[in-house]
Amino acid sequence: MAHDLSEVAIQISKLEARCQDVKLITIDGPAGSGKTTLAKQLSSHLDDCPIISMDDLYDGWRDALNPELWQRIYDQILEPFLQDNPAQIQKFDWKLRQFTDWVTVPVSSHLIIEGVGASHPFIANCSVLNIWIEADQDLLLDRVLKRDGEEIRDEMLRWQLLEKAYFDEYSIKQNADLHLIGM
């Protein structure tokens, strides 16, 4: 990543929160581009900054980027924070293929939501910074399969089509405030 994340954190500190007192940052981009890594690195430069992964919020592989997802994010994260209350998210268990445990995310000065779908307009409107990260197209599938296993290849090929349709429909890359290249 070419940007100095300490400089990005300084810029974030100058922005006014849009989600009550929480400065929400979204990180979106294709699977395998480095969103989770970037979220961890950026979080280390920000005080009081939990990370929520979109992987915990999808209702499995099928039709994951749907209106129910955006509503769930609003109901479980944004609305509580807008009312200065902790968020309560129900995490999806990928092995059981269902939502299971509830996790409390305390009100904090910063919050990063990372993953495909994080910068949907429904969420981005509450965000102080929407980051797009991408990587060489030829690397993306290999990175994900190396991380998560060859057995998800068919699902990932379908997912790549779904995420591309989402990126195009909502102009996610074009509407991002900051563009980065994952290494």
Question: Half-sphere exposure (CA, 13 Å, Cβ side) for 120?
Answer: 22
Q: Which residues constitute the domain of residue 95?
A: 5-37+47-181
- 46: closest CA among 24, 28, 29, 27? 24
Q: Which helix (H) or strand (E) holds 104?
A: strand 98-105
pLDDT 10s digits, 122-144 = 899 999 999 999 998 889 989 99
The answer to the question of residue 74 being in a domain is: yes
99's enclosing H/E stretch is: strand 98-105
Q: In what order do the strands lie in the sheet with 110-114?
A: 51-53, 110-114, 23-28, 127-134, 178-181
pLDDT reported for residue 135: 93
CA dist 149 → 16, 96, 118, 174 (Å): 41, 17, 24, 31
pTM of the model: 0.94
- pLDDT range class, residue 32, cuts 50, 70, 90: very high
Domain total of the chain? 1
136: in domain: yes
Let me know if residue 176 belongs to a domain: yes
CA end-to-end span of the chain: 6
User: Is residue 150, in this structure, part of any structural domain at all?
Assistant: yes
Residue 19 lies in a domain: yes
Average pLDDT of the chain is 93
The whole-number pLDDT of residue 1 equals: 44
Task: Return d(Cα 41, Cα 35) in angstroms, integer.
Answer: 10
Query: In this model, does residue 162 exceed pLDDT 50?
Result: yes
Query: At 107, which CATH number?
Result: 3.40.50.300
**pLDDT per residue as tens digits for the range 2-26:** 468 999 999 999 999 999 999 999 9
